[in-house]
Amino acid sequence: MRTTPFHPRLSELNDQGLYTHWQGTLSALRYSHAPKHEYFAVRNGVGVFDSSPLCKYAVRGPDAERLLTGALVRDVRTVRDGQAAYTLWCDDRGGVMQDGVLLRRTGEDFLLTAARPALGWFEELATGLEVELEDVTDAFAMLAVQGPRSRTVLAEVAGLAGAVEGLAWSEHRSATVAGTPVTLSRTGYTGDLGYELVVPEAAALDVLDAVLEAGRPHSIRPFGEEALMTLRIEAGLPLVDVEWHDSRLAFTDADRVTPSELGFGWMLGGVREGRRFVGAEAIRRELSGRTSRWATTGIVVDWADWDRLHRDAGLLPPKSEHPLPYESMLRSGDGESEVGYCTSFVYSPVLQRHIGIARVRPDLAARGTELRLELTIAHRTTTVRVATTRMPFFDPERKKS
């Protein structure tokens, strides 16, 4: 099992020794006995997350934009130098394969991240084009610095003050930390004010030490995947193998989802008018025929109904910040028919409500639609009242200001 370039230092701060693996690399589940402590470090202060296992692909050359325009759902031509853009890519059926963040350094120089390996697919699409694709995953570490104090902390790191100042949401800049060139982007997976650093592998510990030292007066602490899951649900951000499965690997259409069904119809500008990328024809037919099976929406539980159901069973109403590891069915308001399912469900500490990311019939996605969520109490299946709502659930002004 591999470790990240930050592991030698972050492992010293991990008093639990609990890890999972992310693409064959150790990834901390949590650093302390309670992931809620790490969660509140991000929501109230500043935390760091090691996202080094993300696949990273450098795309360069005269046809780099042409390749990415034909591969990605987001129109790359609208992404300016110095911008970062979240995007998806699909197969010929219009089913979502993966997602990632694209950094446009210059007109012919891009960096694309992905949660799962995808280099071979892009190489096939690049056949005959004047473009260079390079897997730089092991050459660079990535550190997410997230939370309301993240800007203050990074501004105190020698070399980053100028880069942080005036950096708008979804922009990136080059800087130098500890004598090493780095890329600083105002991006993240927590739905809060936050930044990410792309750091050459050889200098990873020097840069991490500089960030931790600057963050010491602000009680900076690392956070693991357990805290991240609660943070990303509050932000309404989907996760591969939870909200969707790679369309190429899914056995049936039940596990496939289109960008519209996943809630990213806003990426599809120009598709009706003929914009072309892999899967665009199938997506155009879906849009024209209004054949989307699902709409993605947020749901919020009626807390009084939740409490009543549990107290009537002689139980204290649970309020766990650990997301459920399984899907839960959604039923119509009268409970008579199945109308969708909840893919991610958790108690939000900052909102003090149970919330979920759900997929429902398009006619039931309007904000405020009353539905019922299945759950099991005292070994019996029942339902609790929920209402659809917009996402993100938590969207502080500081994220983009």
Q: Count how many Cα atoms sit within 13 Å of the Cα of residue 311 in the half-sphere of its side chain.
A: 6
Q: Report the C-alpha gap between 260 and 297 in whole angstroms.
A: 12
Going through 107-243 in order, the beta strands assigned E by DSSP cover 109-114, 132-135, 140-146, 172-177, 180-185, 194-200, 221-222
- Distance between the two ends of the chain, CA-based, in angstroms? 40
As a whole number of angstroms, the distance between CA 165 and CA 197 comes to 15
- The burial of 80, by beta-carbon neighbours within 10 Å (0-12 exposed, 13-18 middle, 19 or more buried), is given as exposed
- 62 CA to centre of own chain: 30
Provide CB contacts within 8 A for 256, sequence distance 6+. Answer: 93, 95, 96, 244, 245, 247, 250
CA distance 383 to 330: 9
**Looking at beta carbons, which pairs linking 279-283 to residues 24 or more positions away fall under 8 Å?**
279/73, 279/89, 279/90, 279/91, 279/92, 279/93, 279/94, 279/95, 280/94, 281/92, 281/94, 282/90, 282/92, 282/93, 282/94, 282/258, 283/90, 283/94, 283/258, 283/259
| Contact predicate 205/189, CB 8 Å | no
**Which tokens go with 145?**
């610095």
Edge-to-edge strand order for the sheet containing 109-114? 84-90, 96-106, 109-114, 55-60, 132-135
Two structure tokens written together for 258: 């289109």
| 374 marked as binding residue | no
Q: Could you list the residues known to form a binding site for substrate, using ranges.
A: 196
Q: Could you list the residues known to form a binding site, using ranges.
A: 196
